[in-house]
Amino acid sequence: MNSQSYSSTEQMEANRFRGYRFYTETIEVSTMSALAFFEAGQEQYEGKRMFWQNREKSFTMVGLGHAYVLTADDYKGRFSSIQKDWKALSSQLVNEETAVQPVLFGGFSFDPLNDQPSEWRNFPQAYFAVPTFQLIIKGEQAYVSVHLITKQPNSFMDFEVLRKERDRLIHGAQVSEPKVYQKPQVSEKKELKKDEYMRSIGKVTDVIRAGEVDKVVIARALELRFKEALAPASALYQAANEQPESFLFGLEAGEQFFFGATPERLVKVEQQRALSTCLAGSTPRGQSVEQDEALGQALLNDSKNRSEHQYVVQMIGDVFEEHCSDPRIPQNPKLMKIRDIQHLYTPVEGKLKKGSSLLDLVEALHPTPALGGEPKLQALSLIRSYEPLNRGYYAAPIGWIDAKGDGEFAVAIRSALLDGDKAYLFAGGGIVADSTPEAEYDETWVKFRPMLRVLGGNLHDES
Ligand SMILES: C=C(O[C@@H]1C=C(C(=O)O)C=C[C@H]1O)C(=O)O
Ligand SMILES: [Mg+2]
């Protein structure tokens, strides 16, 4: 193993995975559709599947089945508990693969202290899994790995069974007819607690104007009901078509499926290089080139949006100053233009200091003022008091980490929770001193658009 990521004190700590063996075998395969591989696992692994594709489309991961599940429910230690368990578990790796690493994929809830009624019945405060079958597509190359984590001393037979199953899955994915899914048919669309949402913005702006906090992000939810239950593969298919310029993620927990197409990176670490994204401040796309440019310029010059953005840059910058040497934080934001919306955008990078890790950065960053507020703890407590919602995994870190400690987490916005014939969609916005409930309400409709397109609900201006 890579000795750098395992400090000696941690190795001396009792390893709760002592006695386990972590077998892995990777083969290179002809590249295939990631979605077809996801579908090939439908019968055997439904409820235990994962999907990830980065924004650049240079890295795609599909997981089928659970070789091991790591969860955490305590509110304080969930990041470090996942980190410790993953280090301990991956130190039991029997053989070291070079082409790709075993990946732990999953996410955290937004706020474990939120005690409002929740639709997220299958999602613990942290929920991660090492897939039994892991497809990784990196550029032109595709790899399928089998993972077996067991206490049985002689698992040769088990592994043989898994190899056969792996070949069946690969074959299924490669020869299956590419599926074309129809858009789901929505029978009902409900705005949940709209009045409470509008009032909460009023209350939060009062607190901000009184000088108690600078920024608080307030969100709301829509509920869609479909004529027929919607398959996760169909949701991913629509998301890939409709939102090609975003991270795509999907996480099954039994019959519930959380998925989304988010433009926002929380943090990526690759060989000690750390990258994050400050994304806050929004305006719609224009109908014409001229209108689009005018809207973009107005966004760049708008003091309310610039202040929403600046709190994020300041905070992410501070975290990078602490955890990275040589942090680079540009002076001014650029525009990020995606299909339905334009945002103010500042990329931040640095070199991870010795002793700091990807999950340390996730913990330090989450939530940034793009989804929480400034100062963080006061903002979280105001969200708890005023926002009429349990965010579950919305706006929370979703992503992966490999056995060497590299990985990437996105901020799970532009997302929905699928639950049989229902879906819950979430969107929010950064409230600052000069926010108004009406403008924030309109902004959330723009942010609902990606998932409304995917799920077949009318966009607000079409309804
Ligand atoms: C809260 C959301 O998005 C965040 C809030 C933004 C804003 O208020 O301008 C912009 C980008 C995101 O960081 C969302 O999409 O639900
Ligand atoms: Mg905003």
- Examine the domain organization and report whether 384 and 458 are in the same domain: yes
- In this structure, the answer to whether residues 203 and 320 fall within a common structural domain is yes
| Rounded distance between C-alpha atoms, residue 115 and residue 390, angstroms | 7
pLDDT in tens, 393-443: 999 999 999 999 999 999 999 999 999 999 999 999 999 999 999 999 999
Name the residue among 431, 399, 393 with its Cα closest to residue 413.
393
What type of residue sits at position 98?
Answer: T
The amino acid sitting at 431 is: I
In a domain, 268, yes or no: yes
Q: Is residue 181 part of a domain?
A: no
84 as an active site residue: the answer is: no
* Together in a domain, 250 and 280: yes
Is residue 154 domain-shared with residue 209, that is, in the same domain? no
The verdict on the CB of residue 371 being under 6 Å from ligand 1 is: yes
**Amino acid (1-letter code) at residue 316:** I
Distance 445 CA to ligand 1 centre (A): 11
| Residues of the domain holding 90 | 3-175
Q: Are residues 32 and 84 in the same domain?
A: yes
Specify whether 191 is located in the same domain as 277: yes
Rounded mean pLDDT, 208-227:
97
Domain membership of residue 24 (yes or no) is yes
Ligand 1: distance of its center to the CA of 430 in Å?
Answer: 7
**Domain-ending residue, one of 175, 205, 224:** 175
Q: pLDDT digit string (tens) for 376-399?
A: 999 999 999 999 999 999 999 999
* Structure token digits, residue 14: 């009792």
Domain match, 141 and 191 both: no
Q: Which atom of ligand 1 is nearest to 368's Cα?
A: 13
Residues 156 and 270 in one domain: no
Ligand nearest to the CA of 439: 2
Query: What's the pLDDT at 41?
Result: 96
Lowest mean per-residue pLDDT among 1-10, 80-89, 191-200: 1-10
**Per-residue pLDDT tens for 298-325?**
999 999 999 999 999 999 999 999 999 9
169 and 193 fall within a common domain: no
DSSP 8-state class, residue 18:
T
The predicted structure's pLDDT at residue 462 = 56
- Cβ contact 388:200 at 8 Å: yes
Annotation says 264 is catalytic: yes
**Span from the CA of 320 to the centroid of ligand 1 (angstroms):** 21
| Mean pLDDT (the chain, rounded) | 94
Length of the chain: 463
**Burial grade of 213 (CB within 10 A; 0-12, 13-18, 19 or more):** buried
Domain end, chosen from 149, 175, 201, is at 175
Beta bridge partners of 419: 256, 422
Which pTM value belongs to this model?
Answer: 0.95
Q: Is the pLDDT of residue 106 over 70?
A: yes
CATH label of the domain that carries residue 440: 3.60.120.10
Check whether residue 428 and residue 367 sit in a common domain. Answer: yes
Pocket lining: 316 vs ligand 1, CB cutoff 6 Å: no
Give the ligand with the smallest distance to the CA of 415.
1
Query: Using N-to-C axis directions, what is the helix angle for 376-386 and 194-209, rounded to 10°?
Result: 140
Residue 352: how many other CB atoms lie within 10 Å: 22
How many domains is the chain built from?
A: 2
Residue 94 lies in a domain: yes
Catalytic member of 48, 84, 215, 268: 215
Return the residue whose CA atom lies nearest to atom 1 of ligand 1.
Answer: 428
Does 428 contact ligand 1 (Cβ within 6 A)?
yes
**Ligand 2 midpoint to CA 430 (Å):** 5
Per-residue tokens: 383: 């969200």
Task: Say if the ipTM goes beyond 0.95.
Answer: yes
**CB of residue 413 inside a 6 A radius of ligand 1:** yes
With contact defined as beta carbons under 8 Å apart, do 312 and 271 qualify?
A: no
Residues 357 and 285 in one domain: yes
Task: Indicate if 150 and 232 belong to the same structural domain.
Answer: no
Whether pLDDT at 97 is above 80: no
* 180 in a structural domain: no
Instruction: Let me know if residue 451 belongs to a domain.
Output: yes
SS3 for 249?
strand
**Residue 153's pLDDT is what?**
81
Ligand 1 centre from 161 Cα, in Å?
46
Residue 338 CB contacts under 8 Å (≥ 6 apart), including other chains: 243, 245, 246, 263
